[in-house]
């Protein structure tokens, strides 16, 4: 509907401009003067020549009467020129005044055709200027409309795609049902939800695998330890060299099996450390933008950052704060306080909710893989957010600290300064 209104408006303005141009081009301007009025002027001036002080203009024409010596005897307007040369240049009508067969003066009748032409030209120019201004405003309005309905949604999709590529599936894509791309963006958010479900299922499978590996490790280690212990006893009581050699071989293989089981158990803890982190120097204003993006429910007031450069990977740092804010939204469901402090060569950003925090004995394990606090209730999650965030911060030569604050759980992110902006 808006697009149709815009097109109709542009078409009407363009049509008006074309009509004005056609009318202006087709219209001819008659610069000639009214012959009857000119004759009336000549006759009235001839009659009153010797009493011009009592002469009255009986027409709509403006004129000047000069005698044969160039003296002005009468003029209808003070601004009219009595110069013959100026009159010729202006295309005025110049006629002789004769009395008794002798030329006694000249009458210069002012030609107002140029003034009428100029007035008409000003009218047309004014009309076209107003039409062009209206057309320009319509185009600017449509450009603004396109920016808010096309450009901004695509920019949001770009940021959304970057988060998805970075592995963040918790933040939904804001949608406007009146937007041209409402259904399109809804499809993207459905994709995010499905990917999140798949990620949770995968995480749960990984957790089950870890439990299975731990259980099998314990179950296998027990008989292996028994075999090793019995073999050590047999080694001590063996009488022949062959028997001793066999027992030593059994002990050696038991140790190998024990080592393989230990490696199998620890291998699961290394899987997430394959995520790449590439920190560079970024402006602190970018960090504020990251905080604003993370607080998609607008429950926090983001303070200004001191002007400096920090050592960080913008995409991974976005994931860190996305995880922190998502946890607060999910578990605390309260407003959030954000503070920024400069401590030595570091910038410390603290995020605290009003959810009452967690038991003190759970704080040390919150950053462990697949570990969640007792306040998680029935909220979905895999217990990987803080574990990944802690890993990212270490790779950026920073740190992530968790503690109970005055009102709730307080998560502090420490970023190293790369250099202050001068």
Res 145: pLDDT: 77
Which is more confident, 196 or 338? Answer: 338
Extents of the domains making up the chain: 35-110, 182-274, 280-419
Task: State whether residue 300 is helix, strand or coil.
Answer: strand
Residues 6+ apart with CB under 8 A from 12: none
Task: Tell me the pLDDT band of 171, cut-offs 50, 70 and 90.
Answer: low
Q: What is the CA radius of gyration of the chain?
A: 47
Q: What confidence score (pLDDT) does residue 272 get?
A: 47
DSSP string, 349-391: EEEEESS----GGGGGGTTSTT---GGGTT----S-HHHHHHH
Q: What is the pLDDT of residue 416?
A: 92
Angle at which helix 152-165 crosses helix 182-237, to 10 degrees, equals 10
Task: Give the tens place of pLDDT for each residue, 297-312.
Answer: 889 889 988 888 999 9
Q: Band the pLDDT of 396: cuts 50, 70, 90.
A: very high
Residue 334 backbone phi and psi in degrees, to 5: -130, 180
The pair of structure tokens assigned to 70 is 């160039």
Distance CA 328, CA 297 (A): 11
pLDDT one-digit tens code per residue, 326-384: 888 888 889 999 999 998 889 999 999 998 888 888 888 888 776 666 666 565 555 66
Q: List the structure tokens of 4.
A: 């149709």
As a whole number of angstroms, the distance between CA 39 and CA 178 comes to: 74
C-alpha atoms less than 13 angstroms from C-alpha of 354 in its C-beta half-sphere: 7
CB atoms inside a 10 Å sphere around CB 382: 18
Judge: domain 182-274, CATH 1.10.287: yes
Q: How many angstroms separate the CA atoms of 58 and 80, rounded? A: 18
Give 269-285 pLDDT, tens digit per residue: 455 455 678 899 999 89
Confirm if 251 and 232 have CB atoms less than 8 A apart. Answer: yes
Q: What is the DSSP letter of 49?
A: G
Section 92-110 average pLDDT: 83
> What's the pTM?
0.43
pLDDT at 113: 66
- Rounded Cα distance between 238 and 410, Å, is 63
Of the candidate CATH numbers 2.60.120.1360, 3.40.190.10, 3.30.565.10, 3.90.550.10, the domain formed by 280-419 belongs to 3.30.565.10
Q: Do domains 182-274 and 280-419 have the same CATH topology?
A: no
Please state, rounded to an integer, the average pLDDT across all residues of the chain.
Answer: 77
The predicted structure's pLDDT at residue 421: 42
For residue 344 the two structure tokens come to 């030595």
**Quick one: pLDDT band at residue 401, thresholds 50, 70, 90?**
very high
Nearest-CA neighbor of 124 among 14, 16, 8, 32?
A: 16
Q: In this model, does residue 399 exceed pLDDT 90? A: yes
Q: Note the pLDDT tens digit of each residue in 29-61.
A: 555 667 888 888 888 888 888 888 888 887 878
Cα separation values, 315 from 156, 287, 362, 389, Å = 15, 11, 29, 12
Taking only the tens place, the pLDDT of each residue in 214-261 is 656 655 766 777 787 788 888 888 888 888 888 888 887 787 677 667
Task: Render pLDDT for 311-322 as a digit per residue (tens, 0 to 9).
Answer: 999 988 988 898
Task: Quote the Cα angle for 166-167-173, to 5°.
Answer: 90
């Amino acid at each position: 509907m808006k697009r149709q209104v815009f097109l109709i408006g542009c078409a009407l303005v363009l049509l008006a401009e074309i009509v004005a141009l056609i009318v202006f081009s087709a219209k001819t301007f008659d610069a000639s003067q009214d012959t009857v009025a000119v004759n009336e002027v000549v006759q009235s001036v001839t009659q009153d020549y010797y009493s011009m002080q009592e002469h009255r203009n009986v027409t709509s024409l403006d004129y000047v009467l000069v005698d044969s010596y160039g003296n002005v005897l009468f003029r209808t307007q003070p601004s009219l020129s009595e110069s013959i040369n100026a009159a010729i240049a202006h295309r005025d009508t110049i006629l002789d005044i004769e009395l008794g067969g002798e030329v006694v003066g000249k009458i210069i009748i002012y030609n107002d055709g140029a003034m009428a032409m100029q007035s008409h030209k000003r009218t047309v120019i004014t009309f076209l200027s107003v039409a062009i201004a209206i057309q320009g405003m319509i185009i600017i309005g449509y450009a603004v409309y396109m920016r808010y309905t096309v450009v901004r949604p695509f920019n949001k999709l770009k940021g959304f795609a970057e988060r998805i590529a970075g592995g963040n599936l918790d933040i939904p894509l804001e949608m406007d049902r009146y937007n041209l791309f409402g259904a399109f963006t809804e499809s993207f958010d459905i994709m995010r939800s499905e990917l999140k479900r798949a990620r949770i299922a995968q995480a749960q499978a990984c957790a089950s695998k870890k439990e299975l590996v731990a259980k099998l490790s314990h179950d296998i280690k027990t008989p292996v330890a028994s075999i090793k212990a019995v073999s050590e006893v047999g080694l001590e009581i063996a009488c022949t060299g062959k028997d001793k050699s066999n027992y030593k071989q059994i002990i050696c293989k038991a140790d190998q099996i024990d080592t393989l089981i230990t490696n199998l158990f620890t291998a699961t803890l290394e899987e997430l450390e394959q995520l790449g982190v590439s920190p560079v120097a970024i402006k602190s204003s970018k960090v504020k933008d990251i905080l604003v993006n993370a607080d998609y429910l607008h429950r926090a007031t983001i303070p200004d950052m001191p002007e400096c450069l920090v050592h960080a990977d913008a995409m991974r740092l976005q994931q860190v704060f996305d995880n922190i804010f998502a946890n607060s939204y999910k578990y605390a469901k309260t407003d959030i306080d954000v503070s920024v402090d400069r401590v030595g060569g570091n910038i410390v950003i603290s995020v605290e909710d009003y959810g009452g925090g967690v038991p003190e004995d759970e704080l040390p394990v919150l950053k462990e893989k697949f570990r969640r606090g007792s306040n998680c209730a029935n909220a979905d999650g895999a217990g990987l957010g803080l574990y990944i965030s802690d890993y990212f911060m270490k790779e950026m030569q920073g740190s992530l600290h968790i503690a109970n604050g005055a009102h709730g759980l307080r998560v502090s992110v420490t970023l190293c300064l790369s250099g202050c902006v001068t």
